[in-house]
């Protein structure tokens, strides 16, 4: 695994343009949006441990989330997290995905995040194998009935029956009765929970076999299943360029999965890629002109001058 810098990106921008691309993202891409990551010193798990004296993995486990003895703690934290997510705006990285989706032969983002900021930036999720966005760990957009599967919008604040500003239970309107209220549960995929969208994810991964650009960004790949996804693409895709984008390098045990490590933040990486793609496209348009008259030559010089100024 080699280090990648901005000069390498500039000199090899063809490797990013019109490719079959897979992104695997983690909480790091949302930090600049004001949402903490999970496992850092100031992350979500540390906050949970400090305030609730509970291990972060335990709070996000399925048993903890539905156990009547611990459910109130879960509801309180999820309600606060929902409020933070709803008030957050997409980062440059989120907007880049929408931009890049139109400049790739094939494109898919596999997101470990539950904040849905990709959708706020214009890249939308759908429950079919053509979706350009896949939620590996669910989302906070909806609540589901644990009995009948009824799904309702999760309104984090304001009016409506799905509002939960006081950390109280929200009950299903489809199957609850006067004698028995059936609670709605978040659409998050918890630890030790069967994945309701596993078939969809498998179909998407199969369709993405043969990708030639894999970018893992904003995650340390601590989740076993996501780590296995990277192994799968590495094994099944010929001529794959695999890039790990994170301020810290990958763990030694997974270094072999990557060709390059870009030691920086996701926003910085994507900004460099975007600028160089736009420059590359401009130069291609210039080269298509086989014969230049004087006016064309002047126009060419002006364009090249502007590109140099923009780069500076």
Q: Is 175 annotated as a binding residue?
A: yes
Tens of pLDDT along 148-193? 888 999 986 433 344 444 567 888 888 877 668 888 999 999 999 9
Query: Out of 19-23, 130-134, 172-176, which region has the weakest mean confidence (pLDDT)?
Result: 172-176
Indicate which residues carry an active-site annotation: 137
Q: Is 145 annotated as a binding residue?
A: yes
What mean pLDDT, rounded, does the chain reach? 89
DSSP 105-124: SEEEEEE--SS-HHHHTT--
Residue 204 counted as an annotated binding residue? no
Q: Is 73 exposed, middle or buried (0-12, 13-18, 19+ CB in 10 A)?
A: buried
- Longest distance between any two alpha carbons in the chain, whole Å: 86
1-33+88-137+196-312 — its CATH code? 3.40.50.1220
pLDDT tens digits for range 102-121: 999 999 999 999 999 999 99
pTM here?
A: 0.87
Torsion of CA 22, 4, 284, 107, to 10 degrees: 10
Q: Is 172 annotated as a binding residue?
A: yes
Q: Quick: pLDDT tens for 234-287.
A: 999 989 999 999 999 999 999 999 999 999 999 999 999 999 999 988 887 777
């Amino acid at each position: 695994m080699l280090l990648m810098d901005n000069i390498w990106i500039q000199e090899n921008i063809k490797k990013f343009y019109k490719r079959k691309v897979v992104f695997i993202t983690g909480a790091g891409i949302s930090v600049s949006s004001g949402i903490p990551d999970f496992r850092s010193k100031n992350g979500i798990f540390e906050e949970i441990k400090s305030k609730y004296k509970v291990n972060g993995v335990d709070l996000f486990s399925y048993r903890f989330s539905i156990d009547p003895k611990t459910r109130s703690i879960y509801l309180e934290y999820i309600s606060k997290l929902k409020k933070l997510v709803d008030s957050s705006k997409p980062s440059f990285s989120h907007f880049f995905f929408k931009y890049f989706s139109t400049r790739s032969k094939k494109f898919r983002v596999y997101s470990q995040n539950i904040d849905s900021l990709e959708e706020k930036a214009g890249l939308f999720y759908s429950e079919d194998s053509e979706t350009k966005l896949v939620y590996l760990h669910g989302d906070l957009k909806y609540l589901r009935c644990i009995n009948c599967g009824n799904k309702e919008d999760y309104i984090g604040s304001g009016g409506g029956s799905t509002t939960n500003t006081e950390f109280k239970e929200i009950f299903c309107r489809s199957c609850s009765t006067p004698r028995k209220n059936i609670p709605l549960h978040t659409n998050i995929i918890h630890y030790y929970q069967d994945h309701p969208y596993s078939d969809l994810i498998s179909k998407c991964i199969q369709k993405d076999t043969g990708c030639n650009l894999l970018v893992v960004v904003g995650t340390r790949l601590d989740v076993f299943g996501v780590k296995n996804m990277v192994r799968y693409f590495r094994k099944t895709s010929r001529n794959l360029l695999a890039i790990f984008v994170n301020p810290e390098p990958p763990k030694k045990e997974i270094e072999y999965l990557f060709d390059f490590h870009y030691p920086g933040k996701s926003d910085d990486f994507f900004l460099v890629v975007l600028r160089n793609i736009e420059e590359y496209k401009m130069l291609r348009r210039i080269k298509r002109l086989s014969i230049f008259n004087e006016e064309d030559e002047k126009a060419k010089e002006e364009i090249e001058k502007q590109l140099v100024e923009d780069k500076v």
